[in-house]
């Protein structure tokens, strides 16, 4: 592991902060030991009664913070914290604002390696328990697997949601949640902003796509419920997103405000089933979407700020009384209509409990405080959200076990049984869409020399290198002779010509595409390689829709992501060491007539 913290260091830090747990003996919250929910609620309410308005407001925020350490981040991270948050580190953030949660990001340098993450988590909990009213923090991240992963190797990485949808096994989804949850809990992360419950009925969706289990609401609901149960069996709060459904949009809510044009009846049929299933499975939290949904609320407020959607539908109609958390308040979709001081106030008035990562914490915090002072928000309204949040923390064991240990990290994270399970599950997701003249599986006799070309998109956390390199390495291990020629997502005419020249003398070409479009450069690359006369195997590295835009291939596989676990599984299928068993969880529309399906949901070949 990189930057591995010693066992002695982690255990020492745990011992040093463990004394703070003695503060619990002074807390009414030790009624949490009561055998019934009423008794536990009594203890939580007594704890809330001890808190000031500022402490209550702080508990509603979940914030980013830069650095690998709660008290000693690198200077560059201190500078970033001072610039964006007005504090030096996580401990100072907690002391000043009393935040109830922290969200980890790889770009914020929170997730270098498992032992470092565990140390950071313990430092954060120590800061929380050092407050006037000692409270553990709810540490969260986006560990969706596939395209969105914040904690990388040596943690166990699984196929992403659409790949899991192609596998179609609720048992596998539950296994993913159970194993991933156990590893997150071992490093101190007790809330995962996963699974994605959006039904991706729009192939042009720029923000969801392969993050969704698919386009069939019933199938998505089944997978969402299974993953929720898996995570929460491992004492990690699952979070279904993005309510009321982000699956049919061509606008990215990070940069704009999507409008969903489904009727109320279409919402009930298409978007609602996965959220209903998550609630029935006992999910702890649901994340809002920064989308306009006129059929559900004609005000044109984003759902995050909509009382008719969050209170009227999610709370009252669907009966959800868990934690509602916003999507990031730094996204443009929620900032277009109101100022950053008003957004958190309106979100709370709509029914939100947790306010996730506003761009300026002081502005958001002061906005809520002003609303309480003016009477726009009552202190009782704060208490209602705070009670839900504290119930979640208690249910996931944070009051009883706020700290993690080096032994737990070593025993759990990247365990061999976990890695084997991920490989086995991945092999059940690879989808064979075309196999003309029986090109696959490749033979080490007749296809010994292979050219690996195509897109090398930015690598998510679950990769050891770009796709062309990972594919070549895995094929070389199986006895093939490989030549690698990355051509990118926008290959130039010169790069296409070079790829065709490199194909001469090869037994086959494997070409990966990443979001290829009609008439695009990647399409021209595949067509040119096909015209060379060398057999071509096409891999859709992300969206399975790519096959509609390419020609000249002999075989085509959908991997749904370009992480190591999915690419290794694809290689085993290519070499005949595994059978393609995935089935399309979405329909692939024709390029010339998108209203017609080139391949329907459920399509997939095998051999």
Catalytic residue among 327, 341, 357, 456: 327
Contact criterion met (CB below 8 Å) for 281 and 222? no
In which region does residue 410 sit, left (phi positive, over 0), alpha (psi from -120 to 50) or beta (all else)?
alpha
Residues 6+ apart with CB under 8 A from 52: none
In DSSP notation, 170-236 reads HHHHHHHHHHHHHHHHHTT--EE---B------TT-SSSGGGSS-S-HHHHHHHHHHHHHHHHHTT-
Catalytic residue among 252, 254, 340, 423: 254
Look up 383 and say whether it is catalytic. no
Q: Taking each helix axis from N to C terminus, what angle separates 379-395 and 37-49, rounded to the nearest 10 degrees?
A: 130
E strands of 78-127, at which residues? Answer: 101-103
Joined tokens for residue 4:
């591995």
Please report how many Cα atoms fall inside a 13 Å half-sphere around the Cα of residue 576, on the Cβ side: 12
SS3 103: strand
CA 433/CA 547 separation, integer angstroms? 8
**SS3 per-residue string spanning 573-598:** HHCCCCCCCCCCCCCEECCCCCCCEE
At 473, give phi and psi (nearest 5°): -65, -45
Q: Taking each helix axis from N to C terminus, what angle separates 416-427 and 170-186, rounded to the nearest 10 degrees?
A: 150
| C-alpha distance from residue 144 to each of 76, 117, 181, 197, 529 (Å) | 28, 18, 11, 11, 35
**CA-based Rg of the chain, rounded to a whole angstrom?**
25
- Tokens 């704009």 correspond to 256
The C-alpha angle 54, 59, 63, rounded to 5 degrees, equals 110
Look up 115 and say whether it is catalytic. no
CA 298/CA 306 separation, integer angstroms? 10
In which region does residue 375 sit, left (phi positive, over 0), alpha (psi from -120 to 50) or beta (all else)?
left
CA 52/CA 58 separation, integer angstroms? 10
Beta bridge partners of 451: 483, 509
CA 604/CA 607 separation, integer angstroms? 11
Beta bridge partners of 431: 558
SS3 545: helix
- Which residues are tagged catalytic? 254, 327
């Amino acid at each position: 592991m990189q930057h591995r913290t010693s066992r002695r260091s982690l255990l020492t830090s745990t011992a040093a902060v463990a004394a703070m747990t003695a503060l619990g003996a002074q807390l009414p919250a030790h009624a949490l030991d009561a055998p019934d929910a009423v008794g536990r609620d009594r203890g939580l309410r007594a704890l809330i009664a001890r808190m000031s308005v500022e402490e209550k407001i702080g508990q509603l925020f979940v914030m980013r913070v830069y650095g690998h350490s709660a008290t000693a981040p690198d200077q560059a991270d201190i500078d970033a914290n001072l610039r964006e948050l007005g504090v030096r580190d996580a401990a100072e953030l907690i002391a000043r604002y009393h935040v109830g949660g922290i969200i980890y990001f790889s770009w914020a340098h929170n997730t270098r390696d498992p032992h470092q993450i565990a140390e950071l988590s313990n430092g954060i909990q120590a800061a929380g328990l050092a407050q006037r009213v000692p409270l553990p923090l709810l540490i969260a991240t986006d560990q969706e697997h596939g395209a969105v992963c914040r904690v990388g190797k040596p943690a166990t990485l699984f196929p992403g949601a659409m790949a899991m949808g192609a596998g179609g096994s609720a048992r596998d989804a539950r296994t993913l949640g159970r194993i991933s949850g156990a590893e997150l809990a071992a490093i101190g992360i007790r809330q995962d902003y996963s699974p994605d419950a959006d039904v991706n009925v729009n192939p042009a969706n720029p923000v969801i796509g392969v993050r969704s289990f698919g386009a069939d609401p019933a199938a998505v609901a089944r997978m969402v419920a299974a993953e929720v149960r898996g995570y929460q069996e491992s004492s990690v709060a699952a979070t279904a997103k993005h309510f009321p459904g982000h699956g049919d949009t061509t606008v990215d809510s990070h940069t704009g405000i999507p409008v969903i044009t489904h009727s109320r009846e279409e919402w009930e049929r298409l978007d609602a089933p996965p959220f209903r299933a998550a609630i029935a499975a006992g999910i702890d939290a649901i994340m809002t979407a920064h989308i306009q949904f006129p059929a559900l609320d004609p005000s044109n407020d984003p759902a995050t700020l909509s009382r008719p959607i969050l209170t009227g539908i999610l709370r009252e109609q669907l009966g959800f009384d868990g934690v509602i958390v916003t999507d990031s308040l730094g996204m443009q979709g929620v900032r277009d209509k109101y100022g950053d001081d008003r957004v958190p106030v309106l979100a709370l008035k709509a029914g939100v409990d947790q306010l996730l990562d506003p761009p300026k914490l002081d502005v958001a915090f002061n906005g809520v405080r002003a609303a309480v002072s003016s009477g726009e928000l009552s202190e009782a309204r704060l208490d209602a959200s705070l009670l839900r949040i504290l119930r979640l923390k208690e249910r996931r064991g944070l009051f009883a076990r706020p700290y993690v240990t080096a032994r737990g990290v070593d025993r759990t994270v990247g365990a061999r049984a976990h890695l084997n399970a991920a490989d086995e599950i991945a092999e059940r997701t690879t989808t064979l869409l075309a196999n003309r003249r029986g090109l696959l599986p490749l033979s080490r006799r007749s296809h010994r020399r292979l050219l690996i070309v195509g897109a090398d998109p930015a690598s998510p956390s679950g990769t050891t290198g770009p796709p062309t390199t990972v594919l070549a390495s895995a094929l070389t291990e199986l006895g093939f002779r490989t030549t690698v020629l990355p051509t990118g997502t926008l290959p130039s005419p010169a790069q296409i010509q070079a790829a065709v020249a490199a194909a001469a003398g090869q037994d086959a070409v494997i070409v990966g595409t990443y979001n290829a479009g009609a008439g695009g450069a990647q399409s021209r690359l595949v067509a040119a390689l096909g015209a060379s006369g060398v057999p071509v195997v096409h891999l859709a590295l992300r969206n399975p829709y790519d096959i509609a835009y390419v020609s000249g291939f002999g075989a085509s596989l959908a991997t749904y992501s370009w992480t190591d676990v999915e690419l290794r599984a694809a290689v085993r299928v290519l070499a005949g060491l595994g059978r393609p068993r995935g089935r399309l969880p979405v329909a692939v529309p024709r390029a010339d007539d998108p209203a017609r399906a080139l391949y329907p949901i459920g399509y997939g070949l095998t051999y």
